[in-house]
Amino acid sequence: MDATVQPNGLLRLTDQKPNTIGTTFYRKAVRLLESHRNASVRSFNTCIVFAINPTSSKEGGYGFTFTLSTIPDIQDVSITNENPRNHVFAVDFDTVQGFEDGYHRMGNHVGVNFNSLQSDFEGPVLFYKREQKEELLLQTGEPVKADILYDGNTKLMNITVYLAEMTPSPVRPMISRPVPKLSRIIEEEMYVGFTAATGNGERSSAHYIMGWSFSSGGEHPVAAKFNLSDLPHPPTNTSEKSTYSSKEIGLIVAISAVTLIFIALLVYFFIYKKQGETLEDWEVNHPPPPHRMRYKELHSATDGFSEERIIGSGGFGTVFRGSLSSSLSDQIAVKKITEGSKQGIREFVAEIESLGRLNHKKKINNKNLVKRKRNTNRLLVYDYIPNGSLDSLLHSVPRLTGTVLSWTTRFDIAKGIASGLMYLHEEGEQIVIRRDIKASNVLIDEDMNPRLGDFGLFRIYERGSQPHTTVIKGGSTYPPLTVIVGTPGYMATELTSNGYPSSASDVYSYGVLLLEIVSGVSPTKCINFKLPVWIMAFYSSCEILNSVDRSMLRQ
């Protein structure tokens, strides 16, 4: 969506709807070089008063940027490939910890970006008050002021962020860094404006610009300052505020007291009355797993499910690394299903079914071990895969260690994934639709062999049937699911219209994964980014080799 100006003059970049982008730029380009012959970047100064209003007390997402660009709309321009032909400079104000591939290493930060979503440098939001450092949260809904000053003579950029009501303003900036790289970005005339993006679900935020001034040229350009009382204010976030009458408060207290008594009786009953393990509804209709472990074995193996043992997390639970003994062969990964989630129970059952039905060298060699503790904690145990996910090997590991997968290794991994997918689609008694093929669901073992993991979303169909008419599950026939599942960026386009997964939609996702393996670019790097479209742009201009992962070429 485009940004909108409210009746009171308030500029709204985005509302609180999830997965929304808003952009706005000043209608005329501003001069930022001294002259056509003199390529020195002019000094400039901007003052921004803004507010970020989250949908709840939880983190908002993702944030907004102050941007200089050669075009007045950068929604569809790929500024993330560090192409020197792009001319985009941005100061980003982020409220959550970056994207899936880890571009932003911290949440609630300010970063400076050159032709990339990855910040050249960044820092947590703070300000100095009487030389005392104080942290500042961006997503409280309160007015915040940001001063950005660039000195063309010293090439020094100062960024100061503080509460708009604070007087006098801090003398010491939160970021003060020379930015000689800016001279390679800035053109003679550029557009000045803002971009913003909301997050998913509870992490969505509305972004407002209450006041903005910009000045460039001269020795010390000064942007106009604002009186906070004269600025339009954003609407109050009432999503979590409510008032109660005295009768309502009394009723709440009474209900709470009865509830506490009931809970106390339940605790007494379960402590002093030994409860045998009972079968749940799903266990009656499905065969038991090959083996069950005692809960305390897994508790001990993971050091009490310690945070230090966490190796991954997802929508349905957290994965811990465990040790059944000192032997490396007894290293395990324990998936702890999110408690109280009906969807989690359904995916738990689906994954148990997959353990018994599927057996292939390109699938995880799981131990087939399941245990529940008093029907509350549901656990699945797998072999520990030491090299982690393909996603981390393609994106995180090269940035952290400089280690890059060779083309031979990538090619072997791609063939291995294809072999596993062929087994699911063609070599079993029934057709297995994986439904969520992506780099983070492919694990790489010590011999660099790929293993397909996380089968919580799989579906099984009889051969000859249509996916939109019959679903076979646990020996019973169910109506098809119409809920769209999968990961944006990898999903086939037709799923958004008919919602019916098929082997063809799996193959499409595998095709996107192939492009990711070759290019080293994540399909989920930012909202509305489409990797196939990005690759086709190179193909159409006869520059397809320029889309290959450059880090691989440097080996």
Flag whether pLDDT at 76 surpasses 50: no
Give the start-end residues of each E strand in 361-520: 369-373, 377-383, 431-433, 442-444, 450-452, 459-461, 471-473, 476-478
Token pair for residue 380?
A: 């699945």
Length of the chain: 555
Token pair for residue 105?
A: 């290493």
Token pair for residue 450?
A: 């790929």
Residue 323 CB burial class (10 angstroms; 0-12, 13-18, ≥19): middle
Q: Are 490 and 512 in contact (CB under 8 A)?
A: yes
Q: Which of 32-41, 52-61, 348-357, 478-487 has the lowest mean pLDDT?
A: 348-357
Single-letter amino acid, residue 284: V
514 phi, psi to nearest 5 deg: -60, -45
Instruction: Check residues 98 and 297 and name the one with the higher pLDDT.
Output: 297
* pLDDT for res 56: 64
Residue 121's CB is within 10 A of a number of other CB atoms, namely 12
CA distances from 377 to 293, 299, 464 (A): 13, 11, 39
d(CA 76, CA 309): 40
Q: Which of 302-306, 483-487, 489-493 has the lowest mean pLDDT?
A: 483-487
* pLDDT for res 358: 54
* pLDDT for res 275: 46
Mean pLDDT in residue range 194-198: 89
* pLDDT for res 45: 93
Residue 418's CB is within 10 A of a number of other CB atoms, namely 16
Mean pLDDT in residue range 174-187: 91
Q: Which of 24-33, 91-100, 438-447, 519-528 has the lowest mean pLDDT?
A: 91-100
Concatenated DSSP letters for 35-69?
-SS--PBPPEEEEEEEEEEESSSS---EEEEEEEE
Mean pLDDT in residue range 532-555: 88
CA angle 69, 214, 27 (to 5 degrees): 50
CA distances from 390 to 138, 407, 414, 522 (A): 34, 14, 10, 11
Q: Are 229 and 165 in contact (CB under 8 A)?
A: no
**Burial per residue of 80-118, b for 16 or more beta-carbon CB atoms within 10 angstroms, e otherwise:** bbeeeebbbbbbbbbbbbbbbbbbbeebbbbbbbbbbbb
Q: Which of 311, 111, 532 is nearest to 103 (CA)?
A: 111
Flag whether pLDDT at 146 surpasses 80: yes
Secondary structure letter of residue 33 according to DSSP = B
Neighbouring residues of 482: CB distance < 8 A, sequence distance ≥ 6? 499
Active-site residues, by number, are: 436
- β-strand 291-292 against 369-373: which pairing, if any? parallel
d(CA 171, CA 431): 67
Mean pLDDT in residue range 222-226: 79
Mean pLDDT in residue range 38-56: 88
Structural domains in the chain, sorted by start: 4-230 (2.60.120.200), 281-383 (3.30.200.20), 390-553 (1.10.510.10)
CA distances from 212 to 10, 47, 140, 176, 537 (A): 11, 6, 20, 21, 36
CA angle 191, 181, 89 (to 5 degrees): 25
CA angle 245, 248, 252 (to 5 degrees): 140
Query: What residues form DSSP beta bridges with 163?
Result: 144
Average pLDDT of the chain is 78
Q: What percent of the chain is modeled with pLDDT above 90?
A: 24
Q: Which of 69-73, 198-202, 423-427, 526-530 has the lowest mean pLDDT?
A: 198-202
**pLDDT band at residue 156, thresholds of 50, 70 and 90?**
very high
Tens-digit pLDDT profile for residues 237-268: 654 444 455 666 778 888 888 888 888 877 76
- The model's pTM is 0.47
Helices (H), 165-315: 246-272, 281-285, 295-301
Flag whether pLDDT at 368 surpasses 50: no
Concatenated DSSP letters for 75-122?
TTS--SS--TT--EEEEEEE-S---TT-SS-SSSEEEEEESSSS-SEE
Q: Which of 100-114, 282-296, 354-368 has the lowest mean pLDDT?
A: 354-368
Neighbouring residues of 271: CB distance < 8 A, sequence distance ≥ 6? none
Q: How far apart are the first and last CA of the chain?
A: 42
Residue 450's CB is within 10 A of a number of other CB atoms, namely 25
Residue 18's CB is within 10 A of a number of other CB atoms, namely 15
d(CA 220, CA 537): 43
Instruction: Check residues 81 and 78 and name the one with the higher pLDDT.
Output: 81
Residue 22 CB burial class (10 angstroms; 0-12, 13-18, ≥19): buried
Is 342 known as a binding-site position? no
Give the start-end residues of each E strand in 103-186: 109-114, 121-124, 126-129, 132-135, 144-151, 156-163, 175-178
Concatenated DSSP letters for 345-381?
HHHHHHHHHHHHH---TTB-----EEEEETTTEEEEE
d(CA 67, CA 92): 8
